[in-house]
Structure 1
């Protein structure tokens, strides 16, 4: 099928797809949607960025419209490995549900106070998206009724198992099986190994297994390995960044200490950098991801665990500071680039001890990753790519009745900033974010300091 109109979706979803300019389904959506919409349980092996979120969101919302839940309990439950992915999935559902009346999409995750989330459950949402730990806590307090759930979605199930959520997932799935009947269970994973197969066999009914070949995405990624001396890794990363000059790059490290040390060194070299590692507070993680996605920094340094569940649209360069322990992790890392039909580059740094591991990877890959010497690479400080925007935190959000239009209007009209100098704007519950060009930063901050927005004084600061 070449367009969404042929899938027989409800009118509201067809209008939303048209509004969002989604016309041609991805290969993953074409492979999944017929079975999804027919009500079958399915298990899908597909890489991040293949369009699976849209596929399962359309399925759940179409069922919500065509099979109303008279009891007004949650109609669909989506489990995600991280807060960031839960927020992204929630946003996708919200975009698609704009034309469907009385459709509340609620995100429930840890790292924030539970009381406001419990309060939000007083009016039953149509869809709940959350992390296993927080969902289990709320079910345990008898605040989340699963008896009306008709669609259960396990998104990035392999990541949830890797992050130690196996017991929580078992508990939730068992509770759902006790409370609800006739639930369509959808499992999405980047791999389909032993533990995922157990989930499939235990909690799905005659599930159709769909494996998407990622040969096309591999073809968009140029892979190179550079042999480095042990004390030259940091220098080589700086040299690669100044050589390729990517608009955005992710550098994967093995440990938190490596992330911190490399981030500090690159910042000293003059790069705009954020880090993502397991001991950061949730607000620090959120700020880092927002700055990176908003093109306010060019480089993210991350551990594998901290970076799981992220949905970053376009990354020009991935650097593996050290080679990963197995091919699945390596594939997940490099899959951050070369997405949505764009070309990408993935570079892996190796020393003498790593070369055997790379040879093992090459034996499992369609084409060998070539090895080059890093000795010819040079860091050029005058070739550092500057970020497109600077990030501003605004101390008001939805609770203060602030909208994207309010922020955009204030910056363009009151501060007289041209629209081309404004990047993404995100409105949170109590805080918001705006990206502006550096040349317009002072005027924007002065406007918030000296003038009122919607009749109120609102503080703003550079992130």
Structure 2
């Protein structure tokens, strides 16, 4: 059965699916949704982009009773970025159900506004384990009514050391609840967690069909440590030249250490690339703005640690580079899964020094297939050549709290500001600020017009970002 209407879903959920254009189920939805709707504990092993979020989102929305004002569904995610992404999907699915209250509770954000929001119990909480545990301990979050617990990307949460927090959270919520465990990999640690937290779980494993797999080409290059910056710059320049018109010319570069992330981003900037760093030592607002700029194409290279890049949602990312070889095969799998999504072709390149060869051999052993090694002929280092991003980002100091919507910003730009719709890119609205991408050639004009005009009849501060 591949149609959603073959399942006993609330009419409002079916209407939302229709509005979102979800005509048929993905393989993981077709296998996982039935036992989820039956209230069974379920383990889902499937790759990113397989439709897991919509599956558990539908199950928990089906289970909650809106008239009962108490926490009924709890979703734990490894990072703030992924929690935001999951919240967006669930909100879209819940659009037709009146008065559903969903809160996103993550670390790195002020506690005060979260406490104020918790004055009245939400129906659904999506959050990171540390902050959710803190609220449960304080008594600001009440877990006695939880019907559904979701552990999303459970393998990453364990990698990040959240096992004890998860166990403590489970002790603080209703004893009898449904547990949905979702993971891209299924190591022994995940089996152990399932054994502790689940009862007779249904296991759903969905591997991509050979002819449906995204076209990800993997290449390994052996490079001396001192030539890694040259190799990276050459690969990025080649990728930019071969990028199709209108594509997201961006590249995601992974480093193992935070200090390496900063050093690589600075070196790329020195060479004329539009590059930004992303890692856990950054303030949350700075991390948000980096992700916004990369997603809206006003930055073309994102240099990140593995943890920081979780939750990044770019449908057509053509190039992923492992500047350092991943510490383990599972991490390598997660990295290459950031490209080749939504049926688009992708290239995953790994730069390997002689000392990193054992890590590459571990990846080869785990995959069961030989790695594709390619000689890399490095051209002599060039002077600085500008690789400008196609868009620039403007920041508007107003957001959801000011009742500002993307349509209001678009209307102001295409109306009084006189911009063509094609010059306006992605618009992101947060609680207290909004970001809009403008084509580089029109960015100054848009800034001047927005400063001189009004949005929704009001004057807001507008400034360029970066």
Normalised by the length of structure 2, the TM-score is 0.93
Q: Distance in 2 between matches of 1:300 and 1:358?
A: 23
Q: Following superposition of structure 1 onto structure 2, how do residues 59-74 of structure 1 map, counting pairs within 5 Å?
A: 59-64=59-64, 68=65, 70-74=67-71
Alpha-carbon displacement from aligned partner over 1:80-115 (angstroms, at most 9, x marks no partner): 111111111111111111111111211111112111
- Are the counterparts in 1 of residues 364 and 371 from structure 2 also a CA contact under 8 Å? yes
- Compare 392-401 and 446-455 and name the one that shifted more: 446-455
- Compare 373-382 and 354-363 and name the one that shifted more: 373-382
Deviation at 1:363, TM superposition (A): 2.9
Aligned CA RMSD, in angstroms, stands at 2.0
Q: Distance in 2 between matches of 1:79 and 1:364?
A: 28
**Is 1:107 the counterpart of 2:104 in the alignment?**
yes
Alignment partner of 2:179 out of 158, 174, 185: 185
**Is 1:320 the counterpart of 2:322 in the alignment?**
yes
Deviation at 1:357, TM superposition (A): 3.1
Q: Distance in 2 between matches of 1:280 and 1:359?
A: 33
Q: Distance in 2 between matches of 1:360 and 1:138?
A: 41
Q: Distance in 2 between matches of 1:381 and 1:151?
A: 57
Alignment length (residue pairs)? 457
Alpha-carbon displacement from aligned partner over 1:104-141 (angstroms, at most 9, x marks no partner): 21111111211111111223322111111111111112
1:283 matched to which residue of 2? 285
2:86 matched to which residue of 1? 89
Q: Distance in 1 between matches of 2:445 and 2:311?
A: 36
- Are the counterparts in 2 of residues 71 and 148 from structure 1 also a CA contact under 8 Å? no
- Are the counterparts in 2 of residues 69 and 75 from structure 1 also a CA contact under 8 Å? no
Alpha-carbon displacement from aligned partner over 1:271-326 (angstroms, at most 9, x marks no partner): 11111122111111111111111122111101123223433333111111121121
- Are the counterparts in 2 of residues 395 and 430 from structure 1 also a CA contact under 8 Å? yes
Alpha-carbon displacement from aligned partner over 1:230-284 (angstroms, at most 9, x marks no partner): 2110111110111122512111111122111111111122211111122111111
**Is 1:234 the counterpart of 2:255 in the alignment?**
no
Question: Structure 2 stretches of 5 or more lacking a match?
Answer: 244-248
1:209 matched to which residue of 2? 203
Report runs of 4+ in structure 1 exceeding 6 Å deviation.
378-384
Q: Distance in 1 between matches of 2:198 and 2:149?
A: 10
Alpha-carbon displacement from aligned partner over 1:53-99 (angstroms, at most 9, x marks no partner): 111101111222xxx26531022110111111111111111111111
2:419 matched to which residue of 1? 417
Tell me the SS of whatever aligns to 1:318. Answer: strand
Q: Distance in 2 between matches of 1:314 and 1:383?
A: 25
Question: Structure 1 stretches of 5 or more lacking a match?
Answer: none
2:47 matched to which residue of 1? 47
- Compare 424-433 and 352-361 and name the one that shifted more: 352-361
Q: Distance in 1 between matches of 2:293 and 2:398?
A: 18
Q: Distance in 1 between matches of 2:199 and 2:154?
A: 17
Q: Distance in 1 between matches of 2:442 and 2:310?
A: 34
Alignment partner of 1:358 out of 346, 357, 360: 360
Q: Distance in 2 between matches of 1:33 and 1:382?
A: 53
Q: Distance in 2 between matches of 1:116 and 1:109?
A: 12
Deviation at 1:404, TM superposition (A): 1.4
- Are the counterparts in 1 of residues 150 and 180 from structure 2 also a CA contact under 8 Å? yes
2:148 matched to which residue of 1? 151
**Is 1:169 the counterpart of 2:163 in the alignment?**
no
Deviation at 1:454, TM superposition (A): 2.6
2:5 matched to which residue of 1? 5
1:259 matched to which residue of 2? 261
Sort the Cα spacing of 1:302 and 1:125 in 2 relative to 1 into closer, same or farther, 3 A: same
Q: Distance in 2 between matches of 1:384 and 1:2?
A: 49
Q: Distance in 1 between matches of 2:57 and 2:204?
A: 18
Tell me the SS of whatever aligns to 1:414. Answer: coil
Normalised by the length of structure 1, the TM-score is 0.94
**Is 1:127 the counterpart of 2:124 in the alignment?**
yes
Sort the Cα spacing of 1:70 and 1:399 in 2 relative to 1 into closer, same or farther, 3 A: closer
Alpha-carbon displacement from aligned partner over 1:176-207 (angstroms, at most 9, x marks no partner): 1xxx2531110011222222112111111111
Tell me the SS of whatever aligns to 2:374. Answer: strand
- Are the counterparts in 2 of residues 243 and 379 from structure 1 also a CA contact under 8 Å? no
Sort the Cα spacing of 1:236 and 1:352 in 2 relative to 1 into closer, same or farther, 3 A: same
- Are the counterparts in 1 of residues 278 and 305 from structure 2 also a CA contact under 8 Å? yes
2:135 matched to which residue of 1? 138
Q: Distance in 1 between matches of 2:336 and 2:56?
A: 24
Q: Distance in 1 between matches of 2:313 and 2:166?
A: 22
